[in-house]
Amino acid sequence: MIIAMIHITITDTEILATEQGKLLGKIEFALSDKEMSILHTYAYESGRGIGTLLMQNAVKWAKEHDYMIIPVCSFAKKYLSKD
């Protein structure tokens, strides 16, 4: 049994989740005045927790860089309302 790891990459405007070079999902965001606006969350395979993994990384990045998250997309709003 081969278990591939999901790799997270954070750019200036996106958080990408890939596995063996295949894009599994992404978050598109915008930064301004210490705010991180989560604009869109995409998970291309349902049931694997990709959206949650992406949001966990967004929250971690925002805390490490002292940004407040502004959830624009519905998934981000739902995820953040659980905390």
pTM of this structure = 0.91
Angle of helix 50-64 versus helix 74-81 axis, rounded to 10? 70
Tens digits of per-residue pLDDT, 44-67? 988 999 999 999 999 999 999 999
Does the pLDDT value for residue 2 go beyond 70? no
DSSP string, 12-41: SSEEEEEETTEEEEEEEEEEETTEEEEEEE
Q: Rounded to a whole number, what is the distance in angstroms from the first to the last CA of the chain?
A: 35
Amino acid of residue 24 = L
Tens digits of per-residue pLDDT, 21-44? 999 999 999 999 999 999 999 999
Could you give all domains of the chain from N- to C-terminal order, each with its CATH number? 7-81 (3.40.630.30)
**What confidence score (pLDDT) does residue 26 get?**
98
